[in-house]
Amino acid sequence: MSLRIRPEQKALLARAAALRHTDLTTFVTGSALREAESVIEEAERTKLSERDSLLVLDLLENPPPANAKLRAAIAAMPKLA
């Protein structure tokens, strides 16, 4: 991967890497991977209020009866052997 950055940005990254006693590639890669994991986790996690959490739990324990659209969707599913 190639990055085009200004010399002062590269110097800043190199200084930070040296302070961590690592090379620039390891420093940048580690920082980028941590940020990527954080972004993905935030995008994939659903946060619910206490009220909504209780509603979801109640719906899981007491699901509403299947309506016509749900029955049609189930009927359209491929049959498992």
Model confidence pLDDT, tens digit, residues 56-79: 999 999 999 999 999 999 999 998
What distance in Å separates the CA atoms of residue 53 and residue 61, rounded to the nearest whole number?
Answer: 12
* Contact in structure between 48 and 56 (CB atoms under 8 Å): yes
Model confidence pLDDT, tens digit, residues 17-62: 999 999 999 999 999 999 999 999 999 999 999 999 999 999 999 9
The reply to whether the predicted model has a pTM over 0.85 is: no
Is the backbone of residue 21 left (phi > 0), alpha (psi -120 to 50) or beta? Answer: left
